[in-house]
Amino acid sequence: MINVEQLELILEALPDPAFILSRTGKYVGVFGGRDTRYYHDGTGLIGLYISDVIKPEKANWFLEQIATALESRKLLVTEYELSNRDVKGLDDDGPKDPIWFEGRVQALSFRVDDEDVVLWVASNILERHLLESRLRELGDTDQLTGLFNRRKLENDLVRLHESSARHAVPTSVFIFDLDNFKIINDTQGHHAGDEIIRTVADVCRSAFRQTDTVCRYGGDEFVVALPNTGPEQAAQFAERLHHALRRALGRFSAEGAVVTASIGVTTMLPADRSYEDALKRADRALYDAKSQGKDRVVLV
């Protein structure tokens, strides 16, 4: 049988820290955390409250998790990040890469100082989180351009259509492709074609906002989803993009044909049953731009 002294030694040897926390967020006990690659000594927390250490928004989140675990009496597993921005008394700028943890929270069957308590085991999962983020990024990214791919676009368009339908948030969509691209590709080879595609991607990175979804849809076709953007602003964006592409692509030509861009633009409508209705409308606008002589913007 393990005696009390041996049990204390076992708890102290745990690589991940284990906290006994009260319903009000008091640090009742701290054990383990002996993997010094990831953790600092937490014994100084005993007697303090989470609100003494963590800024209000994140402290309230911790209290919510504790309450959920106490009410369910089941193991609660949650992932969260902590940075200098969350901890009181530190520089608000925070580290470039916040640390990610997995918290395992279990209600305990006893009380301390007449308060319900939980066991909270915190595991540093930064390496795993970075790997998962990188895998998601690779799964959502076009290899040649570094822009988003079709899968990412479709996921974002579903979300944006729901936001447009439920909350009347305006969302616009561009479809554009490159005029005379095939001539360059056929006469000068795929390396020249790839250079053109990468040039378009560079223009898009400069032209659009971080909130916009810019996607290489396939071949020389691109789609852009612009949240919080109505028809008038979308028209302005499209004209700026058109001029920027004309400047950047003017150096690519073959057999007297210069590479330009034709752009179809639309805005999601209340009558749209799905994002596909808007996408088809933008595609028709692109067809109209082609049929009207190419190298232009058409809005529908």
Place of tokens 């997995």: 102
Rounded alpha-carbon distances, angstroms, from residue 273 to 94, 223, 252, 265, 267: 43, 19, 40, 18, 13
Counted residue by residue, the chain has a size of 300
- Exposure on the CB side of residue 210, measured as CA atoms within 13 A: 0
DSSP 5: H
Strand partners, 106: 119
Residues 6 or more apart whose CB falls under 8 angstroms from that of 119 comprise 18, 19, 20, 105, 106, 108
- Exposure on the CB side of residue 15, measured as CA atoms within 13 A: 5
Query: Could you confirm whether 113 is annotated as catalytic?
Result: no
- Contact of 99 with 129, CB cutoff 8 Å: no
Active-site residue among 177, 220, 272, 295?
A: 220
d(CA 129, CA 227): 28
Strands in 171-179's sheet, in edge-to-edge order, are 213-218, 221-227, 171-179, 260-267, 297-299
Q: Name the residue type at position 263.
A: I
Catalytic residues, which ones?
220
